[in-house]
Structure 1
Amino acid sequence: MKMKISVVIPVYNAEKYVANAVESALQFQEVCEVLLIEDGSPDNALQVCHDLAEKYDRVRLFQHPDKKNHGPGESRNLGIKNSTGDFIAFLDADDYYLPNRFNAEKELFKEPKVEGVYGALGVQYYTQKAKEQYYSIFKNRLTTVYRKYHPKDVLPGQLNMLGSFGLFTLDALTIRKEALLRKIDSLFKPHLRYHEDTEFLFRLSFYLDLYPGILDKAIVVRGVHENNRITKVDTKKINPASTRILLWKEIRDWVEKENEIHDDIKLHIRRMHRSFEIANAPTLKKWKMIIKFIFKDYYSIRSGLYNINFRQ
Structure 2
Amino acid sequence: MAKVSVIIPSYGRPEFLQKSIQSVLSQSFQDWELIVVDDNGVGSVSQVQTQTLLNEYRDDPRIHYHIQEENRGGSAARNIGWKSASGEFICFLDNDDEFYPEKLTAQVQSLERTGLKMTVCRFDSFKNGKKVRTSPKVPEMDSYLIPFALGKINFASGSTLMISKSLLEKVDGYDETFRRKQDVELMIRLLVQESLHVDDQILVRLNIDDRANIPSVENFKKFQNLFNLKFNSLFETFPQKAQQEIKQYEITELAKVALWNKDWKLFLRLYFTGGLNFTTQFNLGTDLVQKFVTYYLK
Above 0.5 in TM-score?
yes
Query: Are the structure 2 counterparts of residues 5 and 114 from structure 1 closer, same or farther at C-alpha, using a change threshold of 3 Å?
Result: same
Superposed CA deviations along residues 174-217 of structure 1, whole A, max 9, x for unmatched, are 011112221x2x432334333222322233233231111134xx
Superposed CA deviations along residues 75-109 of structure 1, whole A, max 9, x for unmatched, are 11111111111111011122221112134323321
Q: Which residue of 1 aligns with 2:227?
A: 251
Instruction: Pick which of 268-277 and 105-114 moved more.
Output: 268-277
For residue 198 of structure 1, what is the amino acid of its counterpart? V
Task: Determine the C-alpha separation between the residues in 1 that align with 2:254 and 2:281.
Answer: 7
Aligned length: 277
Structure 2 SS opposite 1:55: coil
CA contact 2:100–2:205 (8 Å) conserved in 1: yes
CA shift for structure 1 position 260: 8.8
Structure 2 SS opposite 1:94: coil
CA shift for structure 1 position 74: 1.4
Q: Which residue of 1 aligns with 2:188?
A: 202
Query: Are the structure 2 counterparts of residues 261 and 240 from structure 1 closer, same or farther at C-alpha, using a change threshold of 3 Å?
Result: farther
CA shift for structure 1 position 231: 3.5
Q: Which residue of 2 aligns with 1:87?
A: 89
Task: Determine the C-alpha separation between the residues in 2 that align with 1:253 and 1:262.
Answer: 16
TM-score norm. by structure 2 comes to 0.75
CA contact 2:89–2:165 (8 Å) conserved in 1: yes
CA contact 1:121–1:171 (8 Å) conserved in 2: no
**Residue segments in structure 1 that go unaligned for 5+ positions in a row:** none
- Alignment equivalent of 1:172, drawn from 160, 165, 170: 160
**How large is the RMSD of aligned CA atoms in angstroms?**
3.7
Instruction: Pick which of 98-107 and 75-84 moved more.
Output: 98-107
CA shift for structure 1 position 160: 4.0
CA contact 1:274–1:300 (8 Å) conserved in 2: no
Give 1:254-273 correspondences, 5 Å limit: 254-258=230-234, 261-264=237-240, 265-273=242-250
Structure 2 SS opposite 1:10: strand
CA contact 2:251–2:270 (8 Å) conserved in 1: no
Q: Which residue of 2 aligns with 1:7?
A: 6
Query: Are the structure 2 counterparts of residues 31 and 145 from structure 1 closer, same or farther at C-alpha, using a change threshold of 3 Å?
Result: farther
Superposed CA deviations along residues 201-236 of structure 1, whole A, max 9, x for unmatched, are 233233231111134xx3121235xxx5x6324xxx
Query: Are the structure 2 counterparts of residues 46 and 261 from structure 1 closer, same or farther at C-alpha, using a change threshold of 3 Å?
Result: farther
**Residue segments in structure 2 that go unaligned for 5+ positions in a row:** none
Task: Determine the C-alpha separation between the residues in 2 that align with 1:117 and 1:260.
Answer: 27
- The alignment status of 1:157 with 2:147, answered yes or no, reads yes
- Alignment equivalent of 1:181, drawn from 153, 169, 172: 169
For residue 101 of structure 2, what is the amino acid of its counterpart? P
Task: Determine the C-alpha separation between the residues in 2 that align with 1:207 and 1:87.
Answer: 17
- The alignment status of 1:57 with 2:61, answered yes or no, reads yes
- The alignment status of 1:45 with 2:50, answered yes or no, reads yes
CA contact 2:2–2:33 (8 Å) conserved in 1: no
For residue 45 of structure 2, what is the amino acid of its counterpart? P
Q: Which residue of 2 aligns with 1:231?
A: 211
CA shift for structure 1 position 269: 3.2
Instruction: Pick which of 55-64 and 2-11 moved more.
Output: 2-11
For residue 249 of structure 1, what is the amino acid of its counterpart? N
For residue 36 of structure 2, what is the amino acid of its counterpart? L
CA shift for structure 1 position 267: 4.5
Task: Determine the C-alpha separation between the residues in 2 that align with 1:263 and 1:299.
Answer: 19
CA contact 2:10–2:38 (8 Å) conserved in 1: yes
CA contact 2:2–2:86 (8 Å) conserved in 1: no
Structure 2 SS opposite 1:181: helix
For residue 222 of structure 1, what is the amino acid of its counterpart? L
CA shift for structure 1 position 116: 0.9
For residue 34 of structure 2, what is the amino acid of its counterpart? V
Query: Are the structure 2 counterparts of residues 232 and 259 from structure 1 closer, same or farther at C-alpha, using a change threshold of 3 Å?
Result: closer
- Identical positions, percent: 17
- The alignment status of 1:214 with 2:214, answered yes or no, reads no
Query: Are the structure 2 counterparts of residues 272 and 242 from structure 1 closer, same or farther at C-alpha, using a change threshold of 3 Å?
Result: farther
CA shift for structure 1 position 31: 4.0
- The alignment status of 1:102 with 2:101, answered yes or no, reads no
CA contact 2:120–2:162 (8 Å) conserved in 1: yes
CA shift for structure 1 position 255: 2.2
Superposed CA deviations along residues 231-269 of structure 1, whole A, max 9, x for unmatched, are 324xxxx34654543443333222234489424444543
Structure 2 SS opposite 1:121: strand
